[in-house]
Amino acid sequence: MTSTDNKKPRIVIIGCGFGGLEAARALSNADVDITLVDKTNHHLFQPLLYQVATAGLSAPAIAAPVRHLFRKQSNVTTLLGEVDSIDTEGRKVMLAEGHALPYDHLIVAAGATHSYFGRDDWAPHAPGLKTLQDAFEIRRRILVAFEAAEKEADPALRAAWLTFVVIGGGPTGVEMAGTLAEIARHTLPGEFRRIDPASARILLLEGGSRVLQAMPEDLSQRAKEQLEKLGVEVHLDSRVVAIDAATVEVQQGAGGAAKPLTLNSRCVIWAAGVAASPLGRQLAQTTNATTDRVGRIAVDADLTLPGHPEISVIGDLAAARSFAPGREPQAVPGVSPAAKQMGRTAAANILRRLAGKSSEAFRYRDYGNLATIGRNAAVVDLAALAGHFKFSGYFAWLFWLFAHIYFLIGFRNRLVVLIDWASAYWSKQRYARVVSDISARAPL
């Protein structure tokens, strides 16, 4: 599968999240021409995006310019551009402005976006958190809600401005709710003259029977207790059935026992649903590949598209399985370590094919799972260690902190984040309480 007329093999990588970045890095010594295309100019360290949304970190602290990351890897050309379509017959990636990027091998790592389960009319009232732009919008809504409460004379409206509803009890929802509680109880008190920010209600709504469902059950319970200690009202078995500019309608309880609940809130955050990038569905259609419920493409064992060994699909866009000797294939979770590992496997398989060897099946190594909840609170599940080591609370929080700083891209950012956090921890302040544009980008 080498290219024609003796040129170097051309590898195009779509997306510079954890998967795409790792794939390009794994090819650093290869005699190939890599084109890395992304619709933003930065790699985003998504696990800390909630910190930007909650004014704890500035955007540059968790975002590194892609072309700067690859400045010394001379086989990489970085392009800023939005992919319009993939011409799998002509082996070309078409960009929105009309540029064509021919490839011999393609890695599609276009990621995921949030999904409202068919209720896109909820989007303006309950923004999700995937991009920096999303984070700024959520930051704006949180800070403006407290400001509006300070100005509001009507007690019912004031209470609505001080009611924050987070929908979805996964890692993002837990982090958002915990941090909102911290802001209301620790950061803002003393700064307002007419309201008491500590009186804010923070509700976390989860449709299932426990938060953090990817974690062992006892850690879910521990997480719920820590959230409640921070002042979050955790509602399990609570399914949202309607959202508008002023209210969230919830059905509570399992099955026939469902009770309706109406929450008056002016700040609702969506952390419930994820869907693969639309590029996935388009690619699946043109190649007759199958997609799952959330739009991820079912890939072969070696992460390639069925019938297209020259196209690898990785990260949140792939419905991949892990093949470990002596075990049934297992579904791979949509987490950043899995995306990175898929990136390395896709790169290695391209090199194997270029060397005339056959590709290898993907094997996901699960080193564990961790989630933060707030100040001094987190849960850690180290599956890889003997005895399945689990812990929670202060030491889990420290572990989470250092793990995240360690994995942040680039020394510069790590130092800044560490200083920001140390300062935030001691002062209980949040560094980035800045809204650049007060006006709503979407109707409130």
Please say which residue, 142 or 311, places its beta carbon nearer to a copy of itself: 142
User: Binding a copy of itself by CB under 8 A: which of 25, 81, 92, 208?
Assistant: 81
Among 28, 41, 221, 247, binds a copy of itself (CB under 8 A): 41
Mind giving me the DSSP string for 295-350? S-EE--TTSEETTEEEEEE-GGGEE-EE--TTS--EEPPSSHHHHHHHHHHHHHHH
C-alpha 424/C-alpha 351 separation (Å) is 45
Q: Can residue 437 be called a binding residue for a copy of itself (CB under 8 A)?
A: yes
Shortest CB 58 distance to a copy of itself, Å? 4
Site membership for a copy of itself, residue 433 (CB under 8 A): yes
Q: Is the alpha carbon torsion for 178, 180, 185, 188 positive or negative? A: positive
Question: Which of these segments, 192-200, 232-240, 243-251, 267-275, binds a copy of itself (CB under 8 A)?
Answer: 192-200
Residue 175 annotated among the catalytic residues of the structure: yes
159-191 burial code (b ≥16 CB/10 A, e <16): bbbbbbbbbbbbbbbbbbbbbbbbbbbbbbeee
* Using rule CB under 8 A, residue 83 touches a copy of itself: no
- Residue of 324, 384, 422, 434 interacting with a copy of itself (CB under 8 A): 434
Instruction: Kindly state the tokens that stand for 272.
Output: 């419930």
Residue 255 is given by DSSP the state G
List the catalytic residue out of 137, 152, 175, 206: 175
Contact 409, 45 (CB under 8 A): yes
Cβ atoms of 360 and 352 closer than 8 Å: yes
Q: Which stretch binds a copy of itself (CB under 8 A): 146-154, 252-260, 306-314, 342-350?
A: 146-154
Asked whether position 388 contacts a copy of itself by CB under 8 A, the answer is no
Rounded to the nearest angstrom, the gap between the alpha carbon of residue 157 and the centroid of all alpha carbons in its chain is 32
Number of neighbouring beta carbons within 10 Å of residue 9: 19
- In sign, the C-alpha dihedral spanning 128, 133, 137, 143 is positive
Q: Which of 8, 10, 67, 229 binds a copy of itself (CB under 8 A)?
A: 67
CB atoms within 10 A of CB 67: 17
Q: Which of residues 84-143 bind a copy of itself (CB under 8 A)?
A: 95, 97, 99, 131-133, 136, 143
Considering only 63, 332, 342, 417, the residue that binds a copy of itself (CB under 8 A) is 63
Query: Does the footprint of a copy of itself cover residue 190 (CB under 8 A)?
Result: yes
Based on the shown chain and the rule CB under 8 A, indicate whether residue 418 belongs to the binding site for a copy of itself. no
CB of 122 to a copy of itself, least distance (A): 22
Catalytic residues: 175
Q: Which residues bind a copy of itself (CB under 8 A)?
A: 39-42, 58-61, 63, 65, 67-68, 70-72, 74, 77-81, 95, 97, 99, 131-133, 136, 143-144, 147-148, 150-151, 190-194, 412, 415-416, 419-420, 423, 427, 429, 431-438
